[in-house]
Structure 1
């Protein structure tokens, strides 16, 4: 077989590295950073896989083989599980409301929109999400004391920064055609947003919210370690006392809760994106 079609069929693949390829240089830079990280951190990998370390880990894992399933303790774990779930739900709800409010001034609704509050609003969102949930919880524990209230507020504050930025990006990237058609007809900014922009981005906003709820379930379980209530507080307490049979029960509840919420959230997002 000869001719142009044959030449196109048997064309050699491109070279693995091309000096004109920006992606190649980016991958090379990332590879250099990874190698430099291993060298600079001086990770004792040999000690991790030594016989003493493996034996210690084996003894530690063996202590989890008999979780405490007594009715009294299972009842305590159930109440802590509900507390963790409630913290994540309420924190996500508050963050959705606050993030939606801050996303409006943080986004440019159309090309001619001056959006004077865009820069300060985005700076505030960046500051809120730059501080991890554990740090927010430690700060709020000083203000409101131990318990789930501090954990809920910590989740709400951090997630507000995350969802607010995601909401603003979704609003700015919405197809401009329907909004422009309404503006030509003389509709105001509020009507344009409610009848043109919001219906287009609402499924995406709901998907972002559900995904962050999944993350907040895990974060709520960790926040309890600093005294913010829920399963994390029980985990820190029983691990501190080396009660591994009770610790195993708490970990089982964490895994089950995360799996159930992940499944429910994934199914909901699939329905929204159809």
Structure 2
């Protein structure tokens, strides 16, 4: 008579982790002076209504729409070029960060990637504005620097997690290490890398609009200018342009990801 297998031992790691996160959330609410009731007072509602009412109707004169369209194209160009530069830099850093040239170099390059992505785009832009001056060039470099750190880490993890058997098979049959990498490992990870790139491009559209606040050009610079002069109707047009641009890029990115997965 065969014995029944012993039931698997229950792991308490996941429940303890969930309990710790719950306690952390409770402690966060308890230590912050949150005043939710202040949002629903009559004065707050009247102030918000008056502020929002100042945005209507948006400015639709031809001259201002042309200016907004040019700023929209500038923001789109900043995000696209910054992402392309980040892909090139991230890939160059991802190969040694994946341990292709030894563990010491892997640790050093991953430290560089940590520095690049831990500094926000606004800080990069503030620093680069001193060197490159006002305008979209500094914003593009700021996006490229931060995104290279993010994509480099994601690309390196994808390369490390890829199955080694196809590359080893080519190596056994006489292929060089670089040829085996480009013909076996890279094709396996390329769809994942493209998906990461498209997602970061979506994020960079929003970041490019924000970078204009510090003088990096595009829609953000227009928005800051008109808000500082309390020209709310013109600011409303700029905000609508931001929303349309983000929706457009999200749609393009979604369509490209769908095409890659077919």
Do both share a fold (TM > 0.5)? yes
In structure 2, what is the equivalent of residue 118 of structure 1?
106
Structure 1 spans left out of the alignment, 5+ residues: 1-18
User: Is residue 234 of structure 1 aligned with residue 222 of structure 2?
Assistant: yes
Shift of 1:114: 3.5
Q: Sort the Cα spacing of 1:145 and 1:114 in 2 relative to 1 into closer, same or farther, 3 A.
A: closer
Segments of structure 2 that go 5 or more residues without pairing to the other structure are 1-9
Query: CA shift at 1:115, angstroms?
Result: 3.7
1:228 is paired with a residue whose SS is: coil
Partner Cα separation in structure 2 for residue 143 and residue 224 of structure 1: 16
Residue of structure 1 aligned with 2:249, choices 255, 261, 273: 261
Hey, which bits of structure 1, 4+ residues long, moved more than 6 A? none
User: What's the offset of the Cα at 1:20?
Assistant: 5.1
- 2: CA distance between counterparts of 1:199 and 1:23? 35
Aligned counterpart for 1:77 among listed residues 58, 68, 81? 68
Supply the distance in 2 between the matched residues of 1:241 and 1:203 (Cα, whole angstroms): 46
Structure 2 residue 43 is the aligned partner of structure 1 residue 52: yes
Counterpart pick for 2:58 among 67, 73, 90: 67
Give distance in 2, aligned partners of 1:115 and 1:271.
37
Quote the residue 1:153 is aligned against: 141
Query: CA offsets per residue over residues 124-153 of structure 1, 9 Å max, x none?
Result: 001000000011001111111111011000
Candidates 155, 160, 169, aligned match of 2:157: 169
**Deviation of 1:108 (Å):** 2.8
Q: Using the alignment, how far apart are the partners of 2:160 and 2:260 within structure 1? A: 20
Q: 2:6 maps to what in 1? A: none
In the TM superposition, what whole-angstrom CA distance separates every residue of 1:40-87 from its partner, at most 9, and x where no partner exists? 111121212211111111111111220000000000000000000000
- The answer to whether the aligner puts 1:212 opposite 2:203 as a matched pair is no
CA distance in 2, matches of 1:69, 1:266: 30
Partner of 1:224: 212
Q: TM-score, normalised by structure 2?
A: 0.94
Write the distance in 2 (CA, Å) between the matches of 1:116 and 1:25. Answer: 35
Q: Does 1:25 align with 2:16?
A: yes
What is residue 194 of structure 1 aligned with on the other side? Answer: 182
Displacement of 1:183: 1.3
